[in-house]
Amino acid sequence: MLQNQAFLFIFSAVFAIILICVDLRGKKEQKPFFYRLALALISAGALGNLIDRLFLGYVIDFLDFRIWPVFNIADSAITVGAVLLGYSILLKPKTK
């Protein structure tokens, strides 16, 4: 699925990293811990996969548990970050 679409993945990763940096540096108020952690995990995972794509042309998936699809640490960071981001957005304290 989406083979030979390296440009799409490279563009998406760079775009996501730029948006995350802009968001974290944008406003002066302190952002919640889980929100910052989630964005850090997502950007780190995107950067890890981006480095593989730029230098190797593909992403190396090296964790294979035989009962689950093969993945890598960067994929795990993105997934955990996305769950934490959803958690931090859904349970954000209400302001007046």
Domain segments of the chain: what residues? 6-90
What value does the mean pLDDT take over residues 65-87? 86
Q: What is the mean pLDDT of residues 8-29?
A: 86
pLDDT score of 47 = 93
Report the pLDDT value the prediction gives residue 27, as an integer from 0 to 100. Answer: 72
**Sorting pLDDT into bands at 50, 70 and 90, what band is 53?**
confident
Q: For the chain, what is the HEC assignment?
A: CCCCCHHHHHHHHHHHHHHHHHHHHHCCCCCCHHHHHHHHHHHHHHHHHHHHHHHHCCCCCCECCCCCCCECHHHHHHHHHHHHHHHHHHCCCCCC
More confident residue, 63 or 24: 24
Give catalytic residue positions: 61, 75
